[in-house]
Structure 1
Amino acid sequence: MSQSATLLDTRSPFGTYPAERLVRAAWRLADRHDLSRGLRKRIRALVARVFKGPYDLEADGLKFRIYPGENYDDRKILAKGRLPERAEHGLLEPHLDEGTVFVDVGANIGSYAVFAARHGAKVVAIEANPQTAHKLSFNVRANDLENVTVVNSAVGSKEDTLPLWHEPSNCGFATFVTDLTTGEWAGNWTPTYVTVRPLTDIADQQGLERIDILKVDVEGYEDRVVLPFLRHADKAMWPRVILLETNCRPYWSEDCLSELASRGYEVTGRTNDNMVLELSA
């Protein structure tokens, strides 16, 4: 593979980097869960060196330029030929309609944002990692979507500048929680200092008068996105539906779920990694 094919490319037109049959077969092998975790990890490392990307492909009718050597979501799209987190998309789909306001905090490469926009939603896709935000913007353009605004910012309780820790094999798993960079997820983590802003400020800047659906996936920082927003925003701005990642719940500084329940949110759906909560009337 040429060196140029391993670099970030957000200028070449979609279709420049086709995912050939050998590429797909290699990543399907690397994603085989009937193999032991250790063997799968070694295969993935080898495949990532040879078939790092980028590649252009369609999944569920949506276009993505992916870098499977660098991102879990990209690997899943390439290996399975469909969007990841299909169960979560199924839970959200009944709430998506023309004009629905969808705010995606931790948008990654856009598997939720592009999906929601294709259903007619007005999307504000917020991504802290600058390089990932460039990839997200490319995917939005590749799908000719004019109803998505990409905001390159982190979200927290106050304006700040903080180190966002990321690991080269999965840039989508970026976190402010340093405890997540050890133990099970130990790796070659490095920090990028990013701007942090409250969600209320971003919503004001985007001229939002309501948020119908709020999706939050920020690797253990979900409580510091959701709770300050609910405490400071007018109740009319409270999302009617929240998709909240809960697999890093032990790293929250506050119990998000108990406060959401006290404010009238009920759990109406769940998967292994996420919960859907709806605001009761």
Structure 2
Amino acid sequence: MVAALARPDITSPFGTYRAEGLVKFAWALADRHDLSAFLRKRIRSLVARVFSGPYDTVVEGLKFRLYPGGNYDDRKMMAKGRLPEQAEHRLIAPLLGKDRVFVDVGANIGTYSLFAAASGAEVLAVEASPDTADKLAFNLAANGASDVRIARTAVGAEDGELSLWREPSNAGFATLVEDLTQGEWAGNWSAFRVPVRPLADVVAEAGLTRIDVMKIDVEGFEDRVLVPYLSTTSRDLWPRAILLETNCRPHWTEDCLSLLTRLGYEQAGETRDNILFSLKA
């Protein structure tokens, strides 16, 4: 059964929901890491009930409609006033720009896609969760990024359907890997069916003839996105660089890292949760 979540408002114009000072203060308090994890969780739960969103705000020059009560990225932007994953953005920034192509697999609400689009890059954003894809589309439209294409599908080895698991406190952490919903990340998970397509088909449908940077962040399903793609496409369609999330690596069924090495990729940078690979000439 799917958890009952409020549908996002994707029709009211940007600016309808102002984030007042009290809202930002409350979320900054909930994000204080000098507090114990237990206390921070209790504060965050209270703040999420009172200030769940939506709120319209501008972060590093980009417009977002945020729902901090239900998504980690939204909370971070509300609390910090900056984009999340700044170290990753610094890694890929030199690889983006005019005439570059960026593919965002697991686009969430668009922090990477909008960052890439703002550089002048052509962007394909892939997002499986319908509600999150709606939020992504709203944020793109609010920024005038109507040329960013959205593929509303999960990606995997073959066409079909799979169960997407969602936890209501963090919509951006939706996963196709049921095992991930236990243990460290146990919570109020529920599942619903979503379409799945091979990434190669999604890329072909978008008309892309090359990819300069591909980011893959799909909560433990990265191997089942990347391995089939590299196995079924020509080298011309292999990304020149891949930003691969690795913090859910224990849930992979195949070792992407050794495969990338065998295919001629080398590590070009690393953060706490991601590794950047570059394809050798």
Shorter-normalised TM-score: what interval?
Answer: over 0.9
Counterpart of 2:175? 175
Which amino acid in 2 is paired with 1:70? G
In the TM superposition, residue 150 of structure 1 has moved relative to its aligned partner by: 1.0
Contact 2:7 2:131 in 1 (8 A): no
Q: Give the whole-Å Cα distance in 2 for the aligned partners of 1:147 and 1:95.
A: 20
Is 1:160 matched up with 2:160? yes
* One-letter amino acid of the counterpart of residue 64, structure 1: F
Query: How far off its partner does 1:179 sit?
Result: 1.2
Instruction: Tell me if the contact between 1:7 and 1:54 (Cα under 8 Å) persists in the aligned partners.
Output: no
Task: Give 4+ residue runs of structure 1 displaced > 3 Å after superposition.
Answer: none
Could you tell me how far 1:178 is from its partner in structure 2? 1.0
- Counterpart-to-counterpart distance in 1, 2:7 and 2:157: 34
| 1:114 matched residue in structure 2 | 114
Distance 2:12 2:19 in 1: 15
The 5 A counterparts of 1:1-281 are 7-281=7-281
Give the match's secondary structure for 1:172: helix
Deviations 1:121-140 (A, max 9, x none): 11000000000000000000
CA distance in 1: counterparts of 2:243 and 2:254, whole angstroms: 17
Q: TM-score, normalised by structure 2?
A: 0.97
- Counterpart of 1:34, as a letter, is D
Supply the distance in 1 between the matched residues of 2:125 and 2:10 (Cα, whole angstroms). Answer: 17
**Contact 2:19 / 2:55 at 8 angstroms: preserved in 1?**
yes
Q: Deviations over 1:60-104 (max 9, x none)?
A: 110000100000000000000000000000000000010211000
The answer to whether the 8 A contact 1:121-1:147 is kept is: no
| 8 Å contact kept, 2:113–2:123 | yes
Q: Is the 8 A contact 2:53 2:68 kept in 1?
A: yes
Instruction: Give aligned-pair identity as a percent.
Output: 61
**Residues 173 and 199 of structure 1, relative CA distance in 2, 3 Å threshold:** same
Q: Distance in 2 between matches of 1:267 and 1:75?
A: 31
Mapped partners of 2:52, 2:28: distance in 1? 14
Shift of 1:8: 1.3
Whichever residue aligns with residue 106 of structure 1, its letter is G
Cα distance, 1:7 vs. partner?
Answer: 4.7
CA shift, 1:146, in A, is 3.0
Residue type at the aligned position of 1:127:
E
Contact preservation (8 Å) 1:175, 1:220: yes
Separation in 1, partners of 2:134, 2:61: 21
Q: Which letter does structure 2 place at the counterpart of 1:12?
A: S
TM-score (norm: length of structure 1): 0.97
| 2:269–2:275 CA contact under 8 A, matched in 1 | yes
Between the aligned partners of 1:254 and 1:219, the Cα distance in structure 2 is 14
Shift of residue 113 of structure 1?
A: 0.2
Distance in 2 (alpha carbons) for counterparts of 1:39 and 1:79? 17
Superposition CA RMSD, Å: 0.7
Letter in 2 for 1:260: L
Instruction: Give the secondary-structure state (helix, strand or coil) at the position aligned to 1:25.
Output: helix
Query: 1:26 is aligned with what amino acid?
Result: A
